[in-house]
Amino acid sequence: VLNDAAVAIADHLAAGGGDVLYVDVDAHHGDGVEACFRDSPRVTTISLHQHPRSLFPHTGYPAEVGSGEGRGHSLNLALPEEVDDGGWLRALEAVLLPVARELRPSLIVSQHGADTHGRDPLADLAISVEAQHAAALVIRDTARQYAGGRWVALGGGGYDVADVVPRAWAAVAGAVAGIDLD
């Protein structure tokens, strides 16, 4: 299994691209990308996830901030179980906007897991498709303002495959395409 986000970021850097901001709004900690780049100041990761005390892989505590030259470039927002749309979106905006303003990355890569949804059987968050769409819009607008519009949006986990995943990923695709969806 390949980590598509880490491969894309590594390719961007190898091709001479500038610094990258990775934003993971999946219910699980974005530990694969964070692990790949934890020592690098060229990649800053923001992971908004369910608190690791209650969800595998039990990583992503706020004290995990990177190491070596990358210290301070791993930001873990471990949210309580049952967090709702308002709290989740406030956390994203409170961290994403000032970090992007400071870094001015050449690229934003985001991973949009549908497993944050309240009906997902593996996680315990209470996020709606509407909030997932709003998060994609916030990330898109942040990329436009601080990264010259350069944004790669990737799908992620989600285990209510009949009712939630298609709607959540359509909402993200709509945000990418600039189409408003109900």
Q: Would you call the peptide bond into 57 cis, given omega within 30 degrees of 0 as the criterion?
A: yes
Q: What are the C-alpha distances in Å from 112 to residues 81, 131, 147?
A: 18, 11, 19
Q: Reply yes or no on whether the pLDDT at 137 is more than 90.
A: yes
Q: Where are the beta strands (DSSP E) in 54-136?
A: 74-79, 107-112
Q: Does pTM surpass 0.75?
A: yes
Contacts of 159 (CB under 8 A, 6+ apart): 115, 120, 121, 122, 165
Average pLDDT over residues 27-56: 94
- Averaged pLDDT, 129-142: 96
Residue 1: per-residue pLDDT: 57
Question: pLDDT digit string (tens) for 146-159?
Answer: 999 999 999 888 99
| Percent of the chain residues topping a pLDDT of 70 | 99
